[in-house]
Structure 1
C-alpha cells in the first residue's frame, strides 16, 4: 500500500518546496495531482506540503536537517488568516478521495466545482455571496461553500443564483373594499372575497369574511384592486396607508419589493413565520402543491452570521423546501439558493 511506502524526499530551497526525483514526482503529481511541474521538478505549495507531511508521504529537509510538521505548519500559517480553515477543508476533501487544487487563499477547485472556504466566525454579506456566484472567470462551475465550525467540523453548502417561477395564470381582477385594523385588513363582501382567495389564495377566510395581511393589502392597493376604509368609514388612500406602515410596521415596507417581485413571477406568496423565514412561496395553488420555497429577506450589506444561514437551510431541508436569500441590488431582486450537500 502507498501509505507503507518510504516517504519521498522534498527539499526546502529558498522558501520553495521541491521534489526532484522522477519516482517521487510520479507518486505525488501524476497519481495524486498535487504540486506544479516546472522544468522536471515538482513545486509544492505550503498547504500541499503540510498535508503530505501530515500524511507521512514526504520527508522535508533543508541543507542541514529534517523539518518537522510543527515547523512547517507554523511557517505555512504565518501571515495567512485563512490558512487553518482552508487546510482543514483541503485535508477533508483529500481524505474523502477527492483531488482538490488550490486557486487562492480562500478557494479550491474540485472537478467542476469551486469550493469557497469559510470559518464559522468569518463575516459575510449577501453582496459577497452573490459575487461568489457571478465571477465571470468561473461561470461554468458549480459553487460550494466549505464551512468549518469552532470545533473543526465541516459542513458543505451548494450556493447558486435562482430564478423562482410559478404557474399562477388566473390573476385577480376584481375590486374590493376592506377595513383597516392594526395588524390586518378585513373584507366582508362574500362573493368577492371568495374569488380573491380562490384565484391567488389571498388572506385567510373566516365565517363572515376574509382577513388580509398588511403586505397583501398594500400589494392589492398598488394594483388598484383594493380600497381601504377605517372602521369609522373614512377612506385611507395609498399614501396614508404607506405612512401607517412606515410608522407601525416598517419591516413590511422593507420586505415588500421581494413580495411584489415574487407575485410578478406567478407565485403564491404567504408568510413564512412558522418556518422562521419571511415568506413561503407556492408554484401553484396550495390545493395542488406544497410550498416549494422558503424566502428570507436580508439587507445586502448587513453582515450575516453563519448560524443564521445554517438555521434557514436546516429548516428548509427538514420540510423539503428550497431555501432562498432575497435582497435588492440596485433595481434588481437577487435570489440566492443555498442547500446542504455531502461531497
Structure 2
C-alpha cells in the first residue's frame, strides 16, 4: 500500500481505510487516510505500507528532528505490539481496550511519554490526572530510560478513607522543649504511645518529634514549655523551621493523615517523610512524602521512590500541599 509524504502530512489513498477499519490506524479524511509520524514509521517497519522516496532508515531520520520523537515512537511500537490500538492525543496517546478501536470501542488509558530525566511538575501532573479522570480514563506515564527500555506508571489521585477503629481522645500533657524536640513524662503504655506518638527515652520519659509537637499543640492537648515559659505553636514552628525547611509541608500532610485516623511515623529509613499505618497492621501500609504543589522532582527520583515502596509492599504517595488542602498523588508501576 503506497503512502505519500509532502513534508507536512502522511497520507494513504482511500484503500488505506481498511487499515483504519481493521486495526484503528490513522484518521480518515476526504483524501483517504492521514497517518501520524509514529503510525507511518511503524507500518513501514511492519511492511504494511511503502514509500517511493523513503526507506525505514531515511524516514526515521526525517522524523528524528521532531521533539521527543524517538521515545514517542518506542512507546507507540511497544503498545501496538502488546495488542493495543493507539491514537495520538489528548496527552501523547490514547490507548483502547484490547479488541476495541475507534468507532467501536472506548479508549482506556491516556498516556504521557517521558524520559527518565524529565521533571515531574506536580501542579501540571494533577491537572492532567483530573482531566483524565473527568473523561473516565486511566492516566499513565510511559517512561523511557537511557537504554530505551520502558516502564509504565499509573497515577491516581487518592481520596483517603478513615480508619475503621475510632481514635480515643487524648488527655492533656505538658512537655519540655529539648532542642527541636520535646520530652513528656508519662508512664509506659500511656495514651500518647497507644495513639502512635513519640519514642520512649526511658521508663518515665517519651520523646516527641517536631511534627508530632506541632500537631498535638494544634489539637490543644499539649503545652510546650522552656524554662517555665510557655511556647506558642507559632513560635515553635519558627524554631522548627531553622533546622527543617520542609517542616511546614510535613506538618500539613501529617495533620491531614491524622485527620483520617492514620498513624504517621518517620519514614527516614525508606527515604521519605512518613511511613503510615492505616489500621491494626503490624507493618505500615504507605510511604508518604510531602511536597509543595508547585514542586518539581526528576522522574528518576520518583522511580527510586516507587521501587523502594513496592519492594517493601507499600503504596507510594506524594502529598502535594496547596491552599485548598492536600492532594495525595499515588505512583504505581503497572504492566499493560
State if a TM-score over 0.5 links the two structures: yes
Q: Tell me the SS of whatever aligns to 1:147.
A: strand
Choose from 23, 29, 37 the match for 2:28.
37
Distance 1:243 1:35 in 2: 59
Q: CA deviation at 1:277?
A: 0.7
Q: Tell me the SS of whatever aligns to 2:242.
A: helix
2:326 aligned with 1:341: no
2:59 aligned with 1:72: yes
Distance 1:21 1:215 in 2: 66
Q: What residue number does 1:323 align with?
A: 316
Query: Any conservation in 1 of the 2:258–2:264 contact (CA below 8 Å)?
Result: yes
Q: What residue number does 1:4 align with?
A: none
TM-score (norm 2): 0.89
1:6-42 deviations in whole A, cap 9, x for unaligned?
xx222335743332363x542x223321112234722
Distance 2:263 2:8 in 1: 60
Query: Any conservation in 2 of the 1:123–1:305 contact (CA below 8 Å)?
Result: yes
Count of residues in correspondence between the two structures? 324
Q: What residue number does 1:82 align with?
A: 68
Query: Any conservation in 1 of the 2:86–2:93 contact (CA below 8 Å)?
Result: no
For structure 1, the residue ranges without an aligned partner over 5 or more in a row are 1-7
2:39 aligned with 1:48: yes
- Alignment of structure 1 residues 6-45 onto 2, 5 Å: 8-12=1-5, 15-20=8-13, 22=15, 25-26=17-18, 28-39=19-30, 41-45=32-36
Distance 1:273 1:143 in 2: 29
1:200-249 deviations in whole A, cap 9, x for unaligned?
2111234222221111011111111111223x444323333223213333
Sort the Cα spacing of 1:105 and 1:196 in 2 relative to 1 into closer, same or farther, 3 A: closer
Distance 1:248 1:264 in 2: 26
Larger-gyration structure (1/2): 1
1:242-265 deviations in whole A, cap 9, x for unaligned?
232133334322311111111112
Sort the Cα spacing of 1:264 and 1:11 in 2 relative to 1 into closer, same or farther, 3 A: same
Sort the Cα spacing of 1:13 and 1:170 in 2 relative to 1 into closer, same or farther, 3 A: closer
Q: CA deviation at 1:194?
A: 0.8
Sort the Cα spacing of 1:136 and 1:249 in 2 relative to 1 into closer, same or farther, 3 A: closer
Sort the Cα spacing of 1:105 and 1:227 in 2 relative to 1 into closer, same or farther, 3 A: closer
For structure 2, the residue ranges without an aligned partner over 5 or more in a row are 98-107
Moved more, 31-40 or 310-319: 31-40
Choose from 124, 132, 145 the match for 2:141.
145
Moved more, 11-20 or 114-123: 11-20
TM-score (norm 1): 0.87
Sort the Cα spacing of 1:266 and 1:57 in 2 relative to 1 into closer, same or farther, 3 A: same
Query: Any conservation in 2 of the 1:109–1:115 contact (CA below 8 Å)?
Result: yes
Distance 1:31 1:196 in 2: 65
Query: Any conservation in 1 of the 2:79–2:86 contact (CA below 8 Å)?
Result: yes
